[in-house]
Each structure stands twice: as C-alpha cells, then as structure tokens.
Amino acid sequence: MIDDGTRAWAQRPGAQRVLGEARRRAERGQLRATGSLVVALNDDERRDVGLLLGSEWQISARRVSIENLRKRLTTRGVHLEDLLVALGGPIDDRVVARAAAVESRRLEEAAAASVLGAAIDRLCGPESGLLERVVADILPSSGTGRRLSRAGALAQLLDGLDHRNGPNGVSLAVLAAETFGDAHALDQSTPLGRAAARLVGALGAGRAGATSSDLGSPDVGTSEGWRLAWWSVGVVCDRVSSTVLVLNLPLVGSPALMTLSGVMGEPVWLTARILAGGVEAAAALGPVFVCENPSVVETAADRMGAGSRPLLCTFGRPSLAAITVLRALHAAGVEVRVSADDDRGGELVRAAVLTACPNALDWIAAGGGTFEEERIEGMLADLG
C-alpha cells in the first residue's frame, strides 16, 4: 500500500527522474540492493529528492544511493519495486525477456528445420543435404510462429507432390486446392506461393527423376522462372504461354508437334503444352543454330526460307518451351551453336542454353557488333 505522502513525493520532478532511472535499471535486471543511481539533478530537483533522503544528502554532492533510497522508503512501509509498479505498471525484466525471446526463436528454428527437413528427405532422399541450402531463403524470421507455420505448409506441399504427378504433371491450381483447400493458395502473388516456388526450384535438381535436374534454381520472380521451378518437380503452371520460335527445325513427338515443326520456310511458335507429350530431334538433324532475337529468324525466313539451316530463337532468356527443345537436342547428340547479344542479357542467355545443352558451341558470326542485328549478314551466311 502506497501512502498519499509517498505518492505526492513521487510526482515531484526530481523524484520522477530518480524513480525513472530506477525503473530503467530494474528493466535491465540491474536494480540491486546496493550501488547508486546516476542522475544529473539541478538544485530544485535535488531539493525534491531531499524531501525523502534528508537535507544532509540534499546539500551534499553524493549520488542517490539505492540502499539509502530503499531504506527511506521502507520507513514509510513502501518497497521500491512496489512503488515503481504502482507508478508505472509491471516491471518487465528485459534481460530475461530477451533471453526468453532468443530461446523461443531457437526452438522455433529447430522445429521448422526438423519439419521441413523431414519432408525434403522424404522427397529427395536423406542424403540430399538440401535443407541448409533452402531454409534461409524461403522461411520467414522466427519468434512469431510464422516460421514454423510456413515450414509446416511447405512440408505438406512436398509430401503431396509425388503421388499426384501424372505423366504430364499436375496443375498448380489443382495441387493447391487438394493440398490447402484453396486453388489460389500457391499463386505467385501469395507469400506461400513465392516461398514454395523457391523451394521446389532449389529441390528440382535433388529430386530423383526430376525432368529438369540440371537447370539449377530458376529466378521465380519471372514468369518463365516460375514455370521452370514448378516444372522441375512435375507441376504445370501455364504451358500455353511458354513458347519458343523455330525455323526449319523438324521434331518428333505428337502429331501436332510434328506437323507444326515440319513446316519449312516459315517461323513457327511452339508452346510448352505441345512439347509436354515428349519431344525428340528428327533423324540426321544437322547443326542447330540458336539466336537471342526474333529479328534473326524473320530475316532468315525472308531471305532464305526453307533453305536456312535449323534455327531456334530464345527471345531473351530461354523459356520452358525452349529448354525442353534444347534438352531434346542435347539428348540426341545434335550439334548446337549459340549466339546472343554481347551484353549482360546475352551472357544470361548463353549461360541458360549451356545449362540445358552443355556441349553447345559459340556461334561467332562475321561482322562484329554488340547486337545480333549488327552482324546479321554474317549470321545469314552461316545459315545459308
């Protein structure tokens, strides 16, 4: 019980400063029985504090002794901590709170790693060693429960992948509906969808039988990277929007694929959907030339028509459709020669082509120039 006199004293400016420092020390776990409170007081404030500690202390230059403060309050039947609580509410020991928060985060991190790691092991094998590679990138910070919740959702997703995959893959929307009861749960616009795409993109290389085991981890921030990430574990997003432009490049597969790719002299767009049923290179197919820009294909068709050598255009970084064809060419041992603009974008194109087709050769056309359009005549000569 705090008496009225003590409450009135505690409201004085000097007393407020002293008690404020005492509370700060208490919240840091440093308000002990002895020691002193370091507070710079002016004359009026020292007079305020002196009403409790005495005139001798007031005219001295001494600091506020914690022991003396406790003793003077005790003579009034008041404990220092009780006074601090009465004035400012419960005292939170921040040291203890921080330690508890650290321990809570540690426990959540361990639990999340255990849950997700077990699911990764079930999908990719216990020796995959992929957990550390993906956890930091896909899970939110610990301490709020979100990390463990996200790990549980991703583990649930991974456990559902194998038995749902048919020969042509399962639809992403169907997978989301079956797993989470929401067809949009794994959309690119949702945090879970983006985390899941980064996870499956990284795990695609480690999953036994993955169709894109040598593609690395796609950039899921792009539409094609998103499709590649999901396709690496047999999940289909949107195959009709993923295309590759070809000229005089006969391929073996479905009747529709053979009909379209068999068109000579005219550029043809092939979709990932038409390639999904399987694709192989036609017998005795000669060198296939790969370019970055569609203007090369169009010019080759205008100038040479059916007389041009087989040409594939990535139209920027290779799409899922382009990767599918390049892999088929590599599997058949077809010689592939790749050209691109001499800039950062071109470097990425070459790197992506070499990932799908490791034996591809550089196509260095005569004429020089940073962009393919500047060396178009040399490229056409090679295609003739």
- For 165, left (φ over 0), alpha (ψ -120 to 50), or beta? beta
The answer to pTM > 0.85 is no
**Record: fold of 243-383:** Rossmann fold (3.40.50)
Q: From CA 39, how far away is CA 133, in angstroms rounded?
A: 51
**What's phi and psi for 214, nearest 5 deg?**
-115, 20
CATH 3.40.50-classified regions of the chain: 243-383
Contact predicate 336/360, CB 8 Å: yes
State what percent of residues in the chain have pLDDT above 90.
59
Is residue 132's pLDDT more than 90? no
Q: What is the residue-averaged pLDDT of the chain?
A: 88
Q: From CA 114, how far away is CA 321, in angstroms rounded?
A: 36
The per-residue pLDDT for 223 is 81
**Closest by Cα among 361, 365, 323 to 341:** 365
Per residue in 301-359, pLDDT (tens digit) is 999 999 999 999 999 888 889 999 999 999 999 999 999 999 999 998 999 899 899 99
Residue bearing the bigger pLDDT, 307 or 368: 307
Q: From CA 293, how far away is CA 312, in angstroms rounded?
A: 10
Per residue in 201-259, pLDDT (tens digit) is 888 754 433 333 333 466 788 887 888 888 888 888 877 888 999 999 999 999 999 99
Six token digits for residue 11: 């409201």
If DSSP codes are grouped into helix, strand and coil, which group holds residue 303? helix
Contact predicate 214/355, CB 8 Å: yes
